[in-house]
Amino acid sequence: MKKILIVEDEAIVAMENRMNLTKSGYQVVGIISSAEDVMTKFIETTPDIILMDIKLKGNMTGIEVVKLIREKSNVPVLFLTGNSDNRTQLMMKEISNSSFLLKPVLTGDLTSTIKQLLQSNASI
């Protein structure tokens, strides 16, 4: 069973994603809302993939958090964001081994994108 870490500051969105991913056969190893807590939970749980919101509680964005994670790991990251501006999309595209979906995210799109990221990561 693949392990997913959810990093999302909106509790309702995080809980809905956890429910849908659990039903789809994934193990959600944690839900984090604060940018500053992500690294500790990441090291503790060693997820197979991270769902990352762009706007988080704390002083960093999701993109900045992933750049810190990249210093230690190339774990796949799926950004979930309501920000569709070109600058944000360009910054997300610069992150290796990642993809993004615009909110609101349909469960089918979420699970198929996760599967694609995991499969492309397995072939590396």
The string of pLDDT tens digits covering residues 14-26 is 999 999 999 999 9
Assigned fold of 3-122? Rossmann fold (3.40.50)
- CA 30: distance to chain centroid? 11
AA letter at 40: T
Q: Are 28 and 21 in contact (CB under 8 A)?
A: yes
E strand or H helix at 27: strand 27-32
Residue 106: strand, helix, or coil? coil
Confidence band of 109 (pLDDT split at 50, 70, 90): very high
Task: Enter the tokens of residue 8.
Answer: 């999302």
pTM of the model: 0.95
Q: Is the dihedral of CA 77, 78, 83, 85 positive or negative?
A: positive
Task: Enter the tokens of residue 112.
Answer: 């198929």
Q: Domain-by-domain residue ranges, the chain?
A: 3-122
- Mean per-residue pLDDT, 102-120: 94
Question: Per-residue pLDDT tens for 25-65?
Answer: 999 999 999 999 999 999 999 999 999 999 999 999 999 99
More confident residue, 98 or 122: 98
